[in-house]
Amino acid sequence: MKTIYLITFILIIFTNIVYSNWIPRKETDENTNICDRLDEYINSPYSNEEFLNYSDVKVCYESTPYNKTKAIQVIETVKEYLKGFYALLDQAKEEQNPGFASRPIDLISELDLVLKNNYSYEFQFIYDVVDLIKELRDGHTRLESDNYHKYNFQHGLSMYSAIRKDGTQQIKVFNDIKDPRNIDCQVIDIDDKPAIDVITEFAKNHTNLSRDLSARFNSALATLAFGVREFYIAGQLFTSRTQLPKNPSISYTLNCDGKISKITREWQVPIKYVPYESPYINGTTVGNATLIFDAFIARFYVLQDFGVVLISTEAILNDDDSDIENFEYRLLSNIAVGFKLFADKGIEKIVFDLSNNPGGQVIVAHYINKLLFPDIQNFPLSFKVNNISIPLIKETSKLKKEIGNIFHYKSFISVKTNSPFDSVIDFIGNNTYIRGGEQVNYTSKAFFNDTALYYGVLKLPIPPKLPWTEKDIIILTNGLCQSSCAIFTQRLAEINVPTIAVGGFPNTRFSFAQYAVGQAMDSSNINDILNQLKNLDSSLVSKLSLPSNLTLYFTIAEAYSIKNPNEVMDYAFRPADYQLYYDERSARDPSHLWMQAAKYFKK
């Protein structure tokens, strides 16, 4: 007994010393700025706090009052960016395809309306602007604040949706860090309302990852994703929030094997672990599938007699940026090796699982498309032409070293001539379309010149000859396959490769991918470009200067279907050919879905 007391005693002294070294608590806490104190907790590796409390973060946020003068500047600058560069601004005003759950939105007018509200605090204004932009349901287009999106509010629990044998849908606990006994209990109510309704409403109003509600519903819940080298839990936007939740806590009514209980959880900001990174399953063995080749950003498995490929298109950058072309070359040639291995093993059918692929490198999508189908072109694209974008295009195009920059005409290949543009005027073109009732001008349709985009240094690995046709491939996603992932999957779907979307609502076919756009950008990229260009009108530069702690991300180029050349891919509703569902097993082991997907190979 004595020893135990002694050890406890020493530990207390020890932790106190360490603690006081790292948290210089002032005698009167209220004199320390609360926001600074939260930063200290986060930055002190020996702090024994595991969470920031909701109320502390709220007090911090409420320490900055609303300033209408600043608000007007933010709105005016955001509007300039959108008018100048946001490729989909005018089409957003049109009636949407009924397959989508998004309304027509005249963003410029609605941004002006935000200024009519009275706010007490700056964060309330910022959140309203963020939420309004979020209503575009365009994952590439969003406003982010360093200050007010800094924290991740959680409460230990995450959920998934399972379809039972009788076809009914249930929300269940996927994981609960605070009380693992709750795992797989059914969630009946959330804050005393039916769980499915609450999650659906949240997906409708508060998520931005797809125009399609089913895909957004999946993003609100926990699903597995193949990321940088390992599986991790993605999505769970309902239980992992970057905006301060409206209420300090949330309650769940659970049914655990017939026993009904109600739990209440405070929203907290975990500071001791990074939940998004936590690997859930070891991808070396996925059910009965055998990993036969690990291509770093892709994995090649064999399951029974078919192959399964997982691809991550995330931007994985080399530590040494100067070696980028060799690095890319190795990534791509590894992928080619994986496919060649499949061919050599006599694999006749392949399932591509691209669930939760958030996009990243366009080159990966372009390369795999060409590898599998050497004769297909990628989606062409164009940029908005107006008196904000023209000076950037013209000035950038004067600089030879900027070939590769998306404002340089030599980074592209003309769709009309299938060769480089003769001049910047040729690239800017004279193309007026009617969008949302307005005349809008766009650059001439173009393909990326992938070599030029890597400043002329990227050599693409010579593709091996591969045996498969569109009948031998199936694309499987949970509806969340974005950006470059969509450039890959939506292009293959246009040549009749079958697609499957997993999850969503019973008997509701939904989108397998979204945002097959040409290019996304953000305000800091534009500022870097503005800083390099010498001959710009200074009024243009000041019109485009946002406070440094706000970043506006936006779709800068729209992509066009090859099948229907005037259709903008972003607004094309493309439901998957088939639908599968998660259940207790497949939510945690994707090999169950791979087995079900294999049934849909074309005969």
Ligand X SMILES: *[C@@H]1O[C@H](CO)[C@@H](O)[C@H](O)[C@H]1NC(C)=O
Task: Write out the residues near ligand X by the rule CB under 6 A.
Answer: 41, 49, 52-53, 56, 64, 67, 69-70, 116-118, 122, 126, 130, 134, 139, 142, 145-148, 201, 205, 208-209, 282, 284, 287-288, 386-387, 403, 413, 419-420, 430, 432, 439, 441, 449, 451-452, 456, 547, 549-550, 589, 591
C-beta of 116 vs 465, nearer to ligand X: 116
C-beta of 69 vs 322, nearer to ligand X: 69
Beta bridge partners of 357: 481
Look up residue 117 and give its DSSP letter: S
CA-CA distance, 577 to 595, in Å (whole number)? Answer: 17
Which residues does 571 contact at the CB level (< 8 Å), separation at least 6? 88, 91, 94, 96, 97, 211
Closest distance of CB 118 from ligand X, Å: 4
Q: What b/e sequence results for 571-590 when a residue is b if at least 16 CB atoms lie within 10 Å of its CB, and e otherwise?
A: bbebbbbbbbbbbeebbbbb
Closest distance of CB 159 from ligand X, Å: 17
Q: Amino acid identity of 322?
A: S
242 backbone dihedrals φ, ψ, rounded to 5°? -95, -10
CA dihedral of 394, 399, 400, 406, whole degrees rounded to 10: -50
Closest distance of CB 591 from ligand X, Å: 6
CA-wise closest residue to 372 among 306, 465, 308: 465
C-beta of 374 vs 467, nearer to ligand X: 374
How would you classify the pairing of strands 306-311 and 412-414?
unpaired
C-beta of 42 vs 341, nearer to ligand X: 42
Q: What is the DSSP string of 256-283?
A: ETTEEEEEEEE-EEE-S--GGG-B-S-T
C-beta of 55 vs 97, nearer to ligand X: 55
Look up residue 472 and give its DSSP letter: G
> Quick one: which H or E segment has residue 220?
helix 213-220
Residue listed under structure tokens 């990174």: 277
Whether the Cβ atoms of residue 512 and residue 99 lie closer than 8 Å to each other: no
SS3 34: helix
Closest distance of CB 279 from ligand X, Å: 7
Closest distance of CB 385 from ligand X, Å: 7
CA-CA distance, 142 to 157, in Å (whole number)? Answer: 27
Q: Amino acid identity of 144?
A: E
Closest distance of CB 343 from ligand X, Å: 25
C-beta of 360 vs 509, nearer to ligand X: 360
Closest distance of CB 182 from ligand X, Å: 22
CA dihedral of 53, 56, 58, 64, whole degrees rounded to 10: -150
Closest distance of CB 5 from ligand X, Å: 24
- Say if residue 600 is exposed, middle or buried (CB neighbours under 10 Å; 0-12, 13-18, 19+): middle
CA 436 to chain centre: 27
CA-wise closest residue to 366 among 399, 413, 408: 413
C-beta of 278 vs 432, nearer to ligand X: 432
C-beta of 67 vs 168, nearer to ligand X: 67
CA-wise closest residue to 230 among 188, 284, 271: 284
Closest distance of CB 568 from ligand X, Å: 18
- Say if residue 465 is exposed, middle or buried (CB neighbours under 10 Å; 0-12, 13-18, 19+): exposed
Closest distance of CB 356 from ligand X, Å: 11
Closest distance of CB 517 from ligand X, Å: 12
Closest distance of CB 390 from ligand X, Å: 9
C-beta of 222 vs 497, nearer to ligand X: 222
Closest distance of CB 116 from ligand X, Å: 6
CA dihedral of 548, 551, 556, 559, whole degrees rounded to 10: 160
C-beta of 439 vs 507, nearer to ligand X: 439
C-beta of 6 vs 50, nearer to ligand X: 50
320 backbone dihedrals φ, ψ, rounded to 5°? -100, 95
